Amino acid sequence: MDRYQELDHTADWSFRAFGRDLAELFANAAYALFALEGALDAQSTLTREIRAEGIDREALLVNWLSELLFLQETRYETYQRFDITKLTDTELEATVWGAQAQPATKFIKAVTYHDLKIEQTEKGWQATVVVDV
Amino acid sequence: MISKHELERLSEFVWQVPRTYRDDMRAPARMYADEELLDDALEDKSVEQLINTTTLPGIVKYAIAMPDIHQGYGAPVGGVFATAASDGVISPGAVGYDINCGVRVLASRVNADELRPHLSNLATTLYRNCPSGVGVSGSIKLRGDDMENILNRGADWTLERGYAQMEDLPRTEEYGRIPYADASKVSQKAQERGHDQLGTLGAGNHFIEVDRIAALYDDEAARVLNLFENQVVVQIHCGSRGLGHQVCQDFVDRFQRVVKTYDIVLPDRELVAAPYASPEGQDYVGAMGAAANFAFANRQVLAFHIRRSFAQVLTGHVTDFDLHPVYDIAHNMAKLEDHEIQGETTRVVVHRKGATRAFGPQSPVLPKDLKAIGQPVLIPGSMGTMSFILCGTAGSMAQTFGSSCHGAGRVWSRHRAKKEVRGEKLRAEMNERGIEVRAGSISGLAEEAPQAYKDVSRVVRVVDAAGIGKLVARLEPLAVIKG
């Protein structure tokens, strides 16, 4: 199963992430975010514990990805491995692995709710996300 | 998706989606375009997004698409609409993440031929002095209550600290200070994101460009703005950086709940809104104003670095290189304004996303010297092509809530641009045409290739012909500086 695929969008970026279960879906959506930025680093040298909340599953996905962007921008880090340790429809806890990063020249400003969908498929789950770049 | 035959043609350049097109529309939607630009707009979800904005409670007259419209999220880029301040809503997603992203133009008294021998050195110096990219620390360390002051007082803070000249402020929209800004409504997270970013350009489509005036179309406006042919001018395009992005994110998240409180049903969650007059709506207004002040201060500090760069490179070689302000405009904002609706002056909240304010002559908010010509409207084109300066008109006041377009508008996705254009080749082509390019990212350069955008001259021709802006000057690039 692919972790994600990039979709066409005139101005911004859009991707579809896949997972056998919701935890894998949330992890792969995070992976897609950093893969699109070209910010994946081979060597993980640090970990962070992350918590996110949302009023429903879609809002939780937006807030989880937004928290990663916030940390990336303020701590000058990039992340490549994502372990979801707790996941309900409204709460998430995760451990992420990453590294200190050079300032990125490309980046995602924000994760939007536009056309946001989390759907069950024959193979598991998929999420469609539009991000502002 | 809507097709052309479902539109009413109101005049040569104005097309309307009737209110009857979709059950949930509260007003019609109008598009300013010639046939080719209209065909471009109908190819993606721009028009659907425009129609979605007409479902917002309290919308007045009609929603408007500028000729540079393209697909965004929530509201389209190039979209304008107004809601009644009394019982309408305000929507953070219809303003956008980069609050008060905007353009500033500075003009020297040097002509392009005098600058030419120093151009390469100037481009390198600008790239070095104006930090670009993401997460790049600015040259300014904020201390104590600096952030609170910037958020509440915008350009006034930069003047106190010596980053601005007195003449800069009247040549900035709102004098560079949104009066209702409220730093206490900006989250700690947003302030943390902005902490290291004052005086930084950012990435994406943001840039600094050194241009020359290639043509003038309006002698009176050129005289008032001190513009002459072959003059060296500088454009800055950037916004409120991570601080603004976080403010928008915070409120789009918070308003997911608020729409339930106020029973607002919308076709797109990105458009979530709160009544303008509600406590939640006013919290966003205060935070948005503060983010806008941060953006004004950001462009002002960049202007300071640009002036410093000109002095470093040109002192002793060229005289009169001082950069005086032409204007500074916002293109992602919602503003409380009075407009005439059905013969009555009505207070409305004008949302402009990828669209600029374009107030006509005699507008009371303009400084005295600009009242004769109307507010300058600064329209950057796609990289390496051309840009325009226009002025607002009586027509923009009557037709579009005093608004005009903001740029060329994309037609290709970044994905397609990267596939079809090689950054290195693009740079070589620009070099061959005598344009100096300094860019942090070569693939980022490819994404901004001119082929990915509409023809900006076509866009401004429609604006001028439809009477919602008046052409003043055409700019051609000499040097491009990008993240």
**Digit-coded pLDDT (tens) for B403-424:** 999 998 888 888 888 888 898 9
Report residue B70's pLDDT band, with 50, 70 and 90 as the boundaries.
Answer: very high
The label of the residue with tokens 């699109």 reads: A36
If DSSP codes are grouped into helix, strand and coil, which group holds residue B413? coil
For B62, other C-beta atoms within 10 Å of its C-beta total 19
Q: Is B134 a residue whose pLDDT tops 60?
A: no
Mean pLDDT (chain B, rounded): 95
CB contacts of B194 in chain A (<8 Å) are none
The label of the residue with tokens 């969008």 reads: A9
Contact between B457 and B215 (Cβ < 8 Å): no
Which are the contacts of B389, defined by CB distance < 8 A and separation ≥ 6?
A: B105, B225, B227, B326, B376, B377, B378, B379, B472, B473, B475
Mean pLDDT of B5-26: 97
Question: How many CB pairs (< 8 A) connect A and B?
Answer: 126
Contact between A131 and A111 (Cβ < 8 Å): yes
Which are the contacts of B269, defined by CB distance < 8 A and separation ≥ 6?
A: A58, A113, A114, A116, B256
Contact between B290 and B152 (Cβ < 8 Å): yes
- DSSP strand pairing (A125-132 vs A117-120): antiparallel
Mean pLDDT of B130-138: 65
d(CA B75, CA B305): 34
Residue in chain A closest to B268 (alpha carbons) equals: A114
d(CA A130, CA B145): 36
Q: Is B305 a residue whose pLDDT tops 90?
A: yes
Q: Is B137 a residue whose pLDDT tops 80?
A: no
Report residue A89's pLDDT band, with 50, 70 and 90 as the boundaries.
Answer: very high
- DSSP strand pairing (B29-32 vs B63-73): parallel
Q: What is the pLDDT of residues A47-88, one digit of tens each?
A: 999 999 999 999 999 999 999 999 998 998 999 999 999 999
Q: What is the pLDDT of residues B357-408, one digit of tens each?
A: 999 999 999 999 999 999 999 999 999 899 999 999 999 999 999 999 999 8
pLDDT of residue A10: 75
- Residue among B74, B195, B249 whose CB faces A114 most closely: B74
Question: Is some CB atom of chain A closer than 8 A to the CB atom of B269?
Answer: yes
The CA R_g of chain B, rounded to the nearest whole Å, is 21
Q: Is B322 a residue whose pLDDT tops 90?
A: yes
C-beta atoms of B134 and A11 within 8 A:
no
Please write down the HEC assignment for all residues of B131-152. CCCCCCCCCCCCCCCHHHHHHH
d(CA B226, CA B473): 11
Q: DSSP letter at B322?
A: P
Integer CA distances (angstroms), B13 to B36, B290, B458, in order? 11, 37, 12
Reported pTM: 0.96
Q: What is the pLDDT of residues B40-60, one digit of tens each?
A: 999 989 999 999 999 999 999
pLDDT of residue B442: 84
C-beta atoms of A114 and B71 within 8 A:
no
Token pair listed for B348: 């409305």
- Residue among A103, A111, A133 whose CB faces B414 most closely: A133
C-beta atoms of B204 and A113 within 8 A:
no
- Residue among A8, A73, A115 whose CB faces B134 most closely: A73
pLDDT of residue A106: 65
Please write down the HEC assignment for all residues of B71-131. EEECEEEEEEEEEECCCCEECHHHCCCCCCCEEEEEEEEEEHHHHHHHHHHHHHHHHHHCC
Report residue B202's pLDDT band, with 50, 70 and 90 as the boundaries.
Answer: confident
ipTM, two decimals, is: 0.94
In DSSP notation, chain A reads: --SEEEE--SSSEEEEEEESSHHHHHHHHHHHHHHHTT---SS--EEEEEEEE-SSHHHHHHHHHHHHHHHHHHHTEEEEEEEEEEE-SSEEEEEEEEEE-PPPSS---EE--TT-EEEE-SSSEEEEEEEE-
Task: Note the Cα B476 to chain centre separation in Å.
Answer: 19
If DSSP codes are grouped into helix, strand and coil, which group holds residue B226? coil
CB contacts of A63 in chain B (<8 Å) are 253
